[in-house]
């Protein structure tokens, strides 16, 4: 049997950066986080390392990034900092995205990172199914050497992969035009 409402959800998801409360309640957040655990995961590594940042803690993420960037001698552009403050000012929930690759090295690091990306996609879709919108961002210092550790990830074993913000759009949103897959597809056949 085809679940058309599930497919409608998949086909209508779009990212929204500027969101406000309400965010997901506890039961909805359980569902979003459990959806992350359903991502494909080569070798059952369970590489997903997530951290919740809620309410008044959210805007403080900017201060951490500013501090780490300065300590590393790579200060963030003032314009970038202002944009981040504007973005996070009203966001009710951020999920910090971390990856812990296979400690035994059996599975390529890249594959664990891909599994985290798949987990993020599942969370975006689950949030959308629950009536919220999300936005995955790496803009705020994600690739600074020390940011992950400053946000509580293990400095040796875990990679910080960015921020997933979730909430209710502040402004009305228009449905997004998507590419026609036919423009990006070819068929391969033997010989
Ligand atoms: C790994 C990753 C990092 C991203 N980082 C940013 C970012 O820092 N800033 C930004 O404007 N969009 C970023 N994006 C894009 C948005 O999350 C979003 O996908 C884009 O605005 C298109 O919206 P859509 O998901 O509705 O197609 C990132 C996407 C990915 C997959």
| Per-residue confidence (pLDDT) for residue 39, from 0 to 100 | 98
> What residue has token string 């409360």?
21
- The string of pLDDT tens digits covering residues 84-102 is 999 999 999 999 999 999 9
Whether residue 156 is contained in a domain is answered as yes
Whether residue 184 is contained in a domain is answered as no
CATH of the domain at 90: 3.40.109.10
Closest Cα partner for 108 from 42, 55, 48, 191? 42
- Output phi, psi for 15, to 5 deg: -75, 145
The Cβ of residue 51 has, within 10 Å, a number of other Cβ atoms equal to 13
Q: In testing the pocket of ligand 1, which one of 135, 162, 179 has its CB within 8 Å of the most ligand atoms?
A: 135
Question: Average pLDDT, stretch 66-70?
Answer: 98
Alpha carbons 125 and 34: distance in angstroms, whole number: 12
- Output phi, psi for 159, to 5 deg: -105, 135
Question: Average pLDDT, stretch 98-117?
Answer: 97
pLDDT-derived band at 69, boundaries 50, 70, 90:
very high
Closest Cα partner for 100 from 145, 63, 49? 49
Residues facing 98 on adjacent strands = 49, 160
Whether residue 48 is contained in a domain is answered as yes
Which ligand 1 atom is the nearest neighbour of the CA of 135?
Answer: 17
Alpha carbons 116 and 163: distance in angstroms, whole number: 12
Whether residue 167 is contained in a domain is answered as yes
Two tokens at 117? 């990306």
Which ligand 1 atom is the nearest neighbour of the CA of 14?
Answer: 26
Whether residue 104 is contained in a domain is answered as yes
Question: Average pLDDT, stretch 176-180?
Answer: 97
Lowest-confidence segment of 3-12, 80-89, 122-131 by average pLDDT: 3-12
| Per-residue confidence (pLDDT) for residue 2, from 0 to 100 | 86
Whether residue 140 is contained in a domain is answered as yes
Which residue ranges have their beta carbon within 6 Å of ligand 1? 14-15, 135-139, 162, 176
Whether residue 148 is contained in a domain is answered as yes
Whether residue 119 is contained in a domain is answered as yes
Q: How many domains does the structure of the chain reveal?
A: 1
Report angle CA 117, 121, 125 to the nearest 5 degrees.
170
Structural domain for 159, as ranges: 16-171
Give 138 Cα–ligand 1 centroid separation in angstroms: 8
**36, 119 Cβ separation under 8 angstroms:** yes
């Amino acid at each position: 049997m085809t679940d058309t409402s599930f497919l409608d959800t998949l086909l209508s998801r779009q990212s929204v950066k500027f969101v406000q409360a309400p965010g997901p309640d506890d039961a909805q957040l359980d569902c979003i986080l459990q959806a992350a655990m359903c991502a494909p995961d080569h070798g059952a590594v369970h590489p997903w390392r997530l951290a919740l940042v809620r309410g008044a803690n959210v805007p403080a993420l900017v201060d951490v990034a500013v501090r780490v960037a300065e300590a590393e001698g790579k200060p963030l552009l003032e314009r970038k900092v202002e944009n981040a403050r504007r973005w996070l000012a009203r966001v009710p929930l951020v999920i910090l995205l971390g990856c812990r690759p296979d400690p035994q090295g059996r599975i390529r690091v890249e594959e664990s990172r891909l599994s985290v990306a798949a987990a993020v996609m599942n969370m975006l879709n689950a949030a959308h199914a629950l009536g919220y919108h999300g936005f995955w961002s790496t803009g705020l210092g994600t690739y600074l050497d020390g940011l992950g550790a400053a946000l509580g990830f293990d400095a040796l074993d875990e990679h910080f992969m960015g921020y997933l913000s979730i909430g209710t759009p502040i402004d009305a949103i228009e449905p997004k035009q998507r590419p026609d897959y036919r423009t990006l597809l070819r068929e391969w056949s033997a010989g």
